[in-house]
Amino acid sequence: MKSIVVAAMLSAAMLTAAPAITHAQESGTRVTRAQVRQELVDLASVGYRAGGGEDPTYPAKVQDAMQKLAEKRAAQSAYGAGAAGSSQSGAPGIAAQ
């Protein structure tokens, strides 16, 4: 009976840690404490508050905050980004002969 409880606890811990492990594997680099702190600050900027204890709605709340953060970052990068093309505004035209 004890081994079943231990196995259940280990599987629950692995499922909880899976998103963080997957994220670290996808990025190909190690995540530093400073990066984690910055991400928490960024999530707080869109209304997410971490550290609420046993919150059954945690996954939905953090996913919603991550979606809002992604939208915020996309909106910020949409303005002032370099254009792929070029412009010749004000250049004299060449008359066809």
50-77: pLDDT as tens digits: 877 788 888 899 999 999 999 999 988 8
pLDDT tens by residue, 32-42: 999 999 999 99
Helices and strands in the chain, H and E counts: 3, 0
Do residues 47 and 67 make contact, with C-beta atoms less than 8 angstroms apart?
no
Residue 49: which of 58, 70, 68 has the closest Cα?
Answer: 58
